[in-house]
Amino acid sequence: MPAPALHARLSRRLCGLESSPIREVLAVLERPGMISFAGGLPAAQTFPRIDLGRLARGCLQYGPSEGDPALRRRVASDLRRLGLTCTAEQVLILSGSQQGIDLVAKLFIDPDTPVAVESPTYLAALQVFRFFGARLETIETPARWARAAPAERPAFAYVIPTFQNPSGRCYGTDERRALAASCDAASVPLFEDDPYRELAYEACERTPVCAYLRRASWVYQGSFSKSFAPGLRLGFLAASPDLLPLLVRLKQAADLHSSRLSQQLVLRHLESRSAAQRLDAIVAIYRRKRDRFARVLERELAALAEWRVPAGGLFFWLRLRTAIDTRNLLAPALERGVAFMPGEFFHPDRAQGTGTLRLNFSHATADQAERGLAALAELIGRGAA
């Protein structure tokens, strides 16, 4: 806590600033021997080998806030293939898709602005929306938005329809169409966050919900973190023409532009002949890891919890058969060298998350998954007794 004299000078908004529970757990992970099921860390074996020798010197100069034109053109053409109507001028390159969440929050949220989110949802989005003072409401029946008074409609709806973080859920076609129709009918802007779409282990519907919109404003964002390298801090958004210029101004104020070195590396990768092959190899690695993790989970935790094997993404979402507060399990788990994410943090109303937890399967080795899940099962068994 800052000293009282300093505290009085800080912005009122700062009252809503909570530290990210994930980043706190990640800090503990530096301890030797820790097994992590906590963050969404890609496996180091999937990272590219990067040769910096042939990069243009031009990328050491300042660049445009919107991003390098060649990368914007490439992203736009990839998005058109997914069904989005999108030109290069509608693309903004981001310093990680986390920045898109920050920019969209700045665009829409004043204290007490209603914002619709899934429950559970990505906890770092909740952290940002709360920081700007959002009144969070859960997306349950979006069809009712059109009947609500305009002031009661959410300023925007934030969704992760494909391999959702944390639940792993993937919306079907009807659900995608219905959400788009509700946003159109009530003029609720849709903010679709899609960082996991490339990590698909089974065939499933992945058309962006934004592609089904006819009238409503929209922001669709993706990331190069999960399929390329998170340390490059590069993502992108595409937005309807009414929102894009405002998002560009917010980006200018935030960081001028994203790293041009990272942009060159990503563009070079996207345009290389081996890009598709590399993605296939990553997906195969994660599919094997997921299947192995599922087998160990079944052996260790079937009596204590239930879950669905995710068709994509990086997480298993567990519901305990006895609803204990999983935050109380975190300290003893860390003491035993195992990190996980309590489910409470992913809910706009934390009480609704009692008895849930998220386990990442991409980072731990097979041996760590065996030992970590056995330790977790013992702790949960004791907590539930």
Ligand X SMILES: Cc1ncc(COP(=O)(O)O)c(C=O)c1O
360 lies in the site for ligand X, by CB under 6 A: no
Residue 233's identity, in one-letter code, is R
Token code pair at residue 24: 């706190």
| Residue linked to tokens 């952290």 | 127
> Of 319-338, which residues contact ligand X (CB under 6 A)?
none
168 lies in the site for ligand X, by CB under 6 A: no
38 lies in the site for ligand X, by CB under 6 A: no
Q: How far is the CB of 124 from ligand X (least distance, A)?
A: 7
Task: Locate the DSSP E strands across 84-155.
Answer: 91-94, 114-117, 135-138
96 lies in the site for ligand X, by CB under 6 A: yes
Residue nearest to ligand X (CB): 96
Token code pair at residue 269: 């990768």
230 lies in the site for ligand X, by CB under 6 A: yes
Residue 285's φ and ψ, nearest 5 degrees, are: -60, -45
Out of 68, 192, 193, 300, the only residue in the binding site for ligand X (CB under 6 A) is 193
Select from 65-73, 95-103, 111-119, 371-379 the region that touches ligand X (CB under 6 A).
Answer: 95-103
Angle between helical axes of 275-301 and 366-384 (0-180°, round to 10) = 40
Q: How far is the CB of 103 from ligand X (least distance, A)?
A: 12
∠ CA(180), CA(181), CA(182), 5° rounding?
Answer: 90
Residue 33's identity, in one-letter code, is G
CA distance 181 to 139: 14
Out of 46, 90, 225, 356, the only residue in the binding site for ligand X (CB under 6 A) is 225
C-alpha closest to that of 106 among 67, 145, 134? 134
195 lies in the site for ligand X, by CB under 6 A: yes
Cis, bond preceding 166 (omega within 30 deg of 0): yes
Residues forming a β-bridge with 46: none
Q: How far is the CB of 185 from ligand X (least distance, A)?
A: 26
Q: How far is the CB of 313 from ligand X (least distance, A)?
A: 8
CA distance 119 to 158: 11
40 lies in the site for ligand X, by CB under 6 A: yes
DSSP 65: T
Out of 108, 122, 158, 191, the only residue in the binding site for ligand X (CB under 6 A) is 122
Select from 51-59, 92-100, 251-259, 291-299 the region that touches ligand X (CB under 6 A).
Answer: 92-100
Out of 223, 263, 356, 360, the only residue in the binding site for ligand X (CB under 6 A) is 223
97 lies in the site for ligand X, by CB under 6 A: yes
The smaller minimum CB distance to ligand X, of residues 224 and 293, is found at: 224
The smaller minimum CB distance to ligand X, of residues 40 and 168, is found at: 40
Q: Residue 160: how many CB atoms within 10 A of its CB?
A: 25
Q: How far is the CB of 300 from ligand X (least distance, A)?
A: 25
167 lies in the site for ligand X, by CB under 6 A: no
CA distance 62 to 105: 26
Binding site for ligand X (CB under 6 A): 40, 96-98, 122, 160, 165, 193, 195, 223, 225, 230, 235
